[in-house]
């Protein structure tokens, strides 16, 4: 009984010690995440970054007039651009903004502008004032995150400003957002991106398929309005979510590392007591090392192959290594096959668990329950007092 107690303490100590290399792998994953974000930032400077659109305005002297209603149509064409091993979700978008103004303001000489924020370039295709085409001398606007009010053209209209229509092209990455500002708006967006992540105000209508998505927002007016520094809580839109983000998935898998090592060591410990085997602590440590290196294999392979295929190769390599080693350690082929079957079930369960994001907690809870029940069943005949 005393030897068994110290053996159990030693095994627990080894499990805690194996957390050190696991934490090192986790740090490597975090380092890769930071590098990925740096690449996203660099792409934002060269191709175009997150785009936030706040509407149109007309200014005359110190007076700024906003529309009564704005209708926005946005066609977003996505693409994945690569830099080294990193994939960047980018887009090119054609946006048409139709704004209705209050013609009682009698604006005839004014500057037409748009509120937007982005590090990139905006290409103006056409401008119409009261259905009349307006010549714009500068079709390319250099945009910046630090500039919110962007004047486009100085207008000397023959009649009062009733409505305007602006068609322009933008390039960006990751996010396309809008400001829930001072003007009621209807926003319609279509895209070929199959996995959108809607943020802020949710669309009133949306359709998502493997070929893309469409969404429609109805934004009411806000009293806060147009200053760039006040919009942090009023932004809504869509981000191009990369569902197969290998670093997020690897990070989720690492969270189960302690449980994997504990369960595998528990099976070895049960074999020791049921079959009267003597397994050296160093042999436990080698098996733990094989379980730990699985995460490093997974991370390195998934940067070059698909995540599912990388998971298959890494888990197959780990299971094969441990099973072949157990053939000698446990003394019988049957016992090694039991370990092999146990690890196959364990890794298969983990893969299913990380794929089912919405039901992962429910599935994980039932999985742990059945593992505990199985452990209680197979150890029910062990006489712990006499060992």
The pLDDT value given to residue 110? 83
Range from 72-76, 230-234, 354-358 that averages highest in pLDDT: 72-76
Read off the pLDDT of each residue in 30-51 and give the average, rounded to a whole number.
Answer: 77
Q: Is the pLDDT of residue 273 over 90?
A: no
The tokens describing 180, both together, are 């829930």
Using pLDDT thresholds of 50, 70 and 90, give the confidence band for residue 313.
Answer: very high
| Structural domain contains residue 385 | no
Whether residues 66 and 16 fall in one domain: no
**Is residue 194 predicted with pLDDT exceeding 70?**
yes
**pLDDT over 60 (residue 306):** yes
The pLDDT assigned to 96 comes to: 93
Burial class of residue 347 (count of CB atoms within 10 Å of its CB; 0-12, 13-18, 19+): buried
38 within domain boundaries? no
Q: What is the structure's pLDDT at 225?
A: 42
Same domain, 268 and 231: no
- When mean pLDDT is compared across 64-73, 215-224, 258-267, 298-307, the lowest value belongs to 215-224
pLDDT bucket at 151, cuts 50 / 70 / 90: confident
The residue out of 243, 258, 274 marking a domain boundary is 243
> Mean pLDDT of all residues in the chain?
79
In a domain, 40, yes or no: no
Is residue 227 pLDDT above 50, yes or no?
no
Give the pLDDT of residue 216: 93
pTM reported for the whole predicted model:
0.64
Instruction: Give the three-state DSSP class for 235.
Output: strand
Residues 236/199, Cβ–Cβ less than 8 Å = yes
106-120, 210-224, 258-272, 280-294 — most confident range: 280-294
Say yes or no: 62 and 209 in one domain.
yes
Is residue 385 within 8 Å of residue 1, measured between CB atoms?
yes
Residue that is last in its domain, among 243, 263, 295: 243
- Identify whether residues 77 and 213 lie together within a single domain: yes
In a domain, 45, yes or no: no
User: What pLDDT shows up at residue 229?
Assistant: 43
Q: Domain check: are 168 and 270 in the same one?
A: no
Element (H, E) at 356: none
Q: Which residues of 220-256 are buried (b: 16+ CB within 10 A; e: fewer)?
A: eebeebbebeebeebbbbbbbebeeebbebbbebbeb
The domain that holds 199 is classified in CATH as 2.60.40
For residue 253, the number of C-alpha atoms closer than 13 Å in the C-beta half-sphere is 31
Same domain, 130 and 239: yes
Least confident of 141-145, 188-192, 195-199: 141-145
Same domain membership, residue 290 and residue 374: yes
pLDDT of residue 195: 82
Tally of domains within the chain: 2
pLDDT at 90 > cutoff 90:
no
- Distance CA(375)–CA(377), nearest Å, equals 5
The pLDDT, as a whole number, for residue 223 is: 46
185 and 134 in a common domain: yes
Q: Do 255 and 324 sit in the same domain of this protein?
A: yes
User: At residue 268, what are phi and psi to the nearest 5 degrees?
Assistant: -60, -40
Section 304-317 average pLDDT: 88
Same domain, 201 and 321: no
Let me know if residue 386 belongs to a domain.
Answer: no
Look-up: residue for tokens 């194996």? 18
pLDDT in tens, 165-182: 999 998 888 888 888 766
From 212, 227, 243, the end of a domain falls on: 243
Q: Which residues contact 258 (CB under 8 A, 6 or more apart)?
A: 15, 19, 22
- Mark whether 253 and 110 lie in a shared domain: no
41 falls within a domain: no
Residues 216, 329 within the same domain: no
The residue segments making up the domain with residue 351 are 2-32+247-378
Q: Does residue 39 fall inside a structural domain?
A: no
- 232: in domain: yes
């Amino acid at each position: 009984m005393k030897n068994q107690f110290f053996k159990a303490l030693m095994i627990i100590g080894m499990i805690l010690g194996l957390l050190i290399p696991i934490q090192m792998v986790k740090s490597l994953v975090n380092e890769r995440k930071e590098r990925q974000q740096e690449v996203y930032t660099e792409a934002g400077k060269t191709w175009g970054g997150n785009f936030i659109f706040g509407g149109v305005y007309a200014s005359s002297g110190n007076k700024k007039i906003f529309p009564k209603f704005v209708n926005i149509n946005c066609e977003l064409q996505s693409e994945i651009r690569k830099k080294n091993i990193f994939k960047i979700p980018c887009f090119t978008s054609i946006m048409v903004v139709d704004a209705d103004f209050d013609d009682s303001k009698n604006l005839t000489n004014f500057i037409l502008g748009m509120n937007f924020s982005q590090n990139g370039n905006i290409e103006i295709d056409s401008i119409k004032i009261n259905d009349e085409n307006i010549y714009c001398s500068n079709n390319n606007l250099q945009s910046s995150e630090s500039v919110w009010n962007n004047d486009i053209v100085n207008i000397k209209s023959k009649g009062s400003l009733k409505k305007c229509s602006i068609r322009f092209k933008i390039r960006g990455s990751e996010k396309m957002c809008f400001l829930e500002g001072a003007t009621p708006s209807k926003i319609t967006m279509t895209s070929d991106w199959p996995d959108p992540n809607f943020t802020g105000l949710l669309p009133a209508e949306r359709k998502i398929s493997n070929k893309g998505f469409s969404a429609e927002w109805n934004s009411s007016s806000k009293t806060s309005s147009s200053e760039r520094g006040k919009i942090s809580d009023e932004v809504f839109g869509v981000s191009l979510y990369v569902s197969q983000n290998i670093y997020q998935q690897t990070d989720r898998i690492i969270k189960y590392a302690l449980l994997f090592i504990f369960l595998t060591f528990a099976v070895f410990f049960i074999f020791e007591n049921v079959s009267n085997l003597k397994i050296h602590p160093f042999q436990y440590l080698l098996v733990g090392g094989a379980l730990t290196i699985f995460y490093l294999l997974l991370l390195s392979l998934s940067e070059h192959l698909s995540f599912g295929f990388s998971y298959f190769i890494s888990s197959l390599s780990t299971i094969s290594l441990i099973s072949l080693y157990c053939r000698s350690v446990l003394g019988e082929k049957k016992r090694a096959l039991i370990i092999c079957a146990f690890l196959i079930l364990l890794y298969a369960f983990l893969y299913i668990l990380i794929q089912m994001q919405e039901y992962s907690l429910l599935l994980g809870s039932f999985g742990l329950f059945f593992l505990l029940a199985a452990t209680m069943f197979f150890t029910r005949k062990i006489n712990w007092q006499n060992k």
